[in-house]
Amino acid sequence: MARKSIRGKEVVVVSDNDDDDVDVDLDENIIKYIKPVSVYKSLEARSKYNPYFLRRSLRYIIQAKKKKRSNSSGKIRFNYRDGLQLHLKSSHDAFNFDFYRAEEDHGPEVDVSVKSDTLKYGVLKNDVGNPQLSPLTFCSKHRNQRSQRDDSNNVKQLNVLLMELDLDDLPRGTENDPTHVNDDNVSSPPRAHSSEQTSDILSTTQPAIGESSEPKVPYLNDDNVSSPPRAHSSEKNLSTRVNDDDDVSSPPRAHSLEKNESTHKASNILTTTQPSIAESSKPKVPRISRRKQLYAKRFKARGTQPAIAESSSEPKVPHVNDDNVSSTPKAHSSEKANDILTTTQPAIAESSEPKVPHVNDDNVSSTPRAHSSRKNKSTRKNDDNVSSPPRTRSSKKASNILTTTQPAIAESSEPKAAHVNDDNVSSTPRARSSEKNKSTQKNDNNVSLPPKTRSSKKTSDILTTTQPAKAEPSEPKVTRASRRKELYEERCEAKRLEGLKSRQFYHSQTMQPMTIEQVMSNEDSENETDDFALDLNERLRLERLVGVSKEEKRYMYLWNIFVRKQRVIADGHVPWACEEFAKLHKEEMKNSSSFDWWWRMFRIKLWNQGLICANTFHKCTTILLSNSDEEGPSTSGSDANANKQQSMEVDAE
C-alpha cells in the first residue's frame, strides 16, 4: 500500500502484480475507477440475492462517509467503499474481481467472478482521482491468461465491458467528487449530455424497474453512462465513470435526474442514433433485476434480436432465427415481459454501439438493424465521447433501475461479441441474409449464454455499488436529503402495502374474491393464457363469420392457432411458418382436398404480398409430396404448383 497525493487529495494505492501489463499512467487512472467499479459489481451481485442489500449498502456509504470526515488518519480516502467492501468481504466473500484488458483498443475491463480476494485487490487499488481520464477496466496479464483459457470467461469479460463509462462523455463528478481535481479537464457538457441520453433510455425501457429501484439507482445511471471501453477513450471512460459516481452522491437528486436523463436516452436509443448512451444506460438493477437478469440471461444466450424484443412485451425474440423458433421462444416464454423490455433496450443500444465485434451479433436477427448498427458504429465513437452524460444528477429510481439493468446487458453482449464472434466479425456480412446472422447468432447463443448471464449480473452489481460510493463524498448535503427522501419513500411504501393487505380484493373480470397472494403476485390474470380456451375462442369466433365456407373456416382456424402458438409475428417468420405448417398438417392436406385448396390459396396470397418467395412455395408443396402415398393427385398438384412457381419466378424477374 502506498499513499499518494493526487491533485492535492490523498489516495491510497495498492500495487498489484496483476497490473503489470498496464501502463503506469493508466494505472493511476485505473486506480481511481476500479475501486468503485469493483465495489459496484460486488454489490450488484450481492444484491441480486438480497434485495435489501443495496439499501443497507447505501447506509454504509453514508455512515462511512461521515466517518471518513471525522477520522481521516491512516485510512483510505474513500473509506465509504471500505465500509462496503468490509461488509462484502465479511458477509459475502463470493466475488472475485479480475481486471483485465480484453482488447487493446478497449481498455481495461473488469471481470467479476466469485472470489473475494480479487475484489479486495481491485478495490484497494482504486481511488477516486480524476474520473474522466482512465477507462473503467484494465487488463491484467492474469486476466489475459485466463481469457485464453475458455470462451466462457471471455464472455464474462465481454459482459463487463459494457459497464464501463464512455470516455469524455462522462464529465461528471466535478461537483460531487472532491477528489478529482481534473474536473475542469472533463467537459461537463458531454457528461450531462450523455447522462440525459442514458436516462432516456432507461426510463423508456424499464419504467417498472425504475419505480422499485433503490436510492442507489441514481448512480446506476452513471454507470450506464459509461460506455464500453473503446480504444482511445478507455482512460476517459474510467475517469468519466468515476465522475459520474461522484455526481450521484445524493440518491434523491440522482433519482430525479437520472429519470429525466434516462427518458431522454431511452428515446435516443430507440432511434439508434446514440449508441453510446444506450450502452451506458443499462446498469442492472440488482433488486428488481432478478427477473430481468433472467431475461438478460436469456437475451444473452440468444444473443440476437434485441431490436425485435424491444417492441414485444413477450419473449418472442427468438423468432427470427429458425433454430430458435421452436425452442428458444418457448424456453423463454416463461420470462416476464419486463425482462424482455429491459433486455431489448440494451440490445438495441448494443447494436448501435460501435463495437465492432458484436455488431454482427446484435444485428443477426434484424437486417435493418445491421444497417443501423453499422451507422451507429461509426458514429458511436464520437458519440461516446460526447454523450456520456453526467448521470450524477439523475436521481429517479426508475432511471436508476433502467441504467443498472441495461449496462449489464450491454456488457454481456459486448464481451461476447468480442471474443466469441471474432470469426464472425469478418464473416457475418452486414448483408441482409438473416440466415447467416442466425447461424452465427446461434453459435453465440450457445456459447455465451451461461457466462454472460453471470458476469453481466455481477458487473451490474459492481457498477451499482460503485456509483453511489463515488457520488457520496462529493455532495454530503444531497446525500442527507436524498436519504431522508428515501426513508420517507420507504415508509410510504410500507404503509401502502399494509393498507393493501387489510383489504379484500376482487378480480376485475370474474369479480371473485382474491387472496393476498394472488393480488401481490406479479402474474397478469386478465389475459387468457390457457391454450385450450384460446383455441376454442378462435374457433367460435370463426364460426360466427357469415358467408365463409366451413372448409375455409377450418383452414383459417388451423392457421391462426398455429401462428399464435408458434408466435409468427414478423415478416421474416412467414417462410419458416409456411414450411412448418405444411409439415404439421400434411395428413389433413392429403386427406382433404378443400383444405389443401385453401392452403394453396393462402400461400398464393402470401407470395403476392411478398412474404414468401417462390422457392418457399415450392418447398411447401414438395413437403406434401414427399411422403405422399397417392402419387396421382399429388403429382398433378405438383405439376400445377411447378407451373405456378415458374410463372411466379417469371413474374419476379
Partner 1 sequence: MSKITLGNESIVGSLTPSNKKSYKVTNRIQEGKKPLYAVVFNFLDARFFDVFVTAGGNRITLYNCLGDGAISALQSYADEDKEESFYTVSWACGVNGNPYVAAGGVKGIIRVIDVNTETIHKSLVGHGDSVNEIRTQPLKPQLVITASKDESVRLWNVETGICILIFAGAGGHRYEVLSVDFHPSDIYRFASCGMDTTVKIWSMKEFWTYVEKSFTWTDDPSKFPTKFVQFPVFTASVHTNYVDCNRWFGDFILSKSVDNEILLWEPQLKENSPGEGTSDVLLRYPVPMCDIWFIKFSCDLHLSSVAIGNQDGKIYVWDLKTCPPVLITKLSHNQSKMVIRQTAMSVDGSTILACCEDGTIWRWDVITK
Judge whether 410 and 267 are in contact, CB under 8 Å. no
Judge whether 561 and 555 are in contact, CB under 8 Å. no
518 binds partner 1 (CB under 8 A): yes
> Judged by CB, which is closer to partner 1: 503, or 544?
544
> Judged by CB, which is closer to partner 1: 70, or 504?
504
Which window, 321-329, 463-471, 531-539, 554-562, contacts partner 1 (CB under 8 A)? 531-539
Nearest approach, Cβ of residue 545 and partner 1 (Å): 9
Pick from 497, 533, 601, 640: which binds partner 1 (CB under 8 A)? 533
- Rg for the chain (alpha carbons), in Å? 27
Mutual angle of helices 251-271 and 397-420, in 10-degree steps = 50
Cell of 246: 461522484
Nearest approach, Cβ of residue 564 and partner 1 (Å): 17
521 binds partner 1 (CB under 8 A): no
* Nearby residues of 482 by Cβ (< 8 Å), 6 or more positions away: 215, 218, 250, 251, 252, 253, 254, 255, 395
5 binds partner 1 (CB under 8 A): no
Pick from 73, 90, 510, 522: which binds partner 1 (CB under 8 A)? 510
Cα dist from 523 to 286, 311, 332, 344, whole Å: 21, 20, 16, 21
514 binds partner 1 (CB under 8 A): yes
In the range 541-560, which residues lie near partner 1 by CB under 8 A? 543-544, 546, 550
DSSP annotation of 13: E
* Nearby residues of 523 by Cβ (< 8 Å), 6 or more positions away: none
Pick from 70, 532, 629, 653: which binds partner 1 (CB under 8 A)? 532
516 binds partner 1 (CB under 8 A): no
Pick from 17, 70, 90, 512: which binds partner 1 (CB under 8 A)? 512
Nearest approach, Cβ of residue 584 and partner 1 (Å): 23
561 binds partner 1 (CB under 8 A): no
Nearest approach, Cβ of residue 589 and partner 1 (Å): 22
* Nearby residues of 377 by Cβ (< 8 Å), 6 or more positions away: 275, 352, 353, 354, 355, 356, 359
Nearest approach, Cβ of residue 592 and partner 1 (Å): 17
Give the Cα separation of 634 and 628 in Å (integer): 7
Size of the site for partner 1 (CB under 8 A): 19
Q: Report phi then psi at 29, rounded to 5.
A: -65, -40
Nearest approach, Cβ of residue 538 and partner 1 (Å): 11
> Judged by CB, which is closer to partner 1: 368, or 513?
513
507 binds partner 1 (CB under 8 A): yes
Give the Cα separation of 379 and 553 in Å (integer): 52
Which window, 113-121, 225-233, 438-446, 526-534, contacts partner 1 (CB under 8 A)? 526-534
Nearest approach, Cβ of residue 581 and partner 1 (Å): 24
Q: Dump strand ranges (E) for 212-276.
A: none
Cα dist from 98 to 41, 158, 227, 370, whole Å: 11, 13, 19, 32
> Judged by CB, which is closer to partner 1: 514, or 611?
514
Cα dist from 101 to 32, 43, 106, 599, 639, whole Å: 16, 22, 7, 56, 62
* 315: Cα within 13 Å, side-chain hemisphere: 25
Which window, 184-192, 398-406, 409-417, 537-545, contacts partner 1 (CB under 8 A)? 537-545
In the complex, the residues that contact partner 1 under the rule CB under 8 A are 507, 509-515, 518, 530, 532-533, 536, 539-540, 543-544, 546, 550
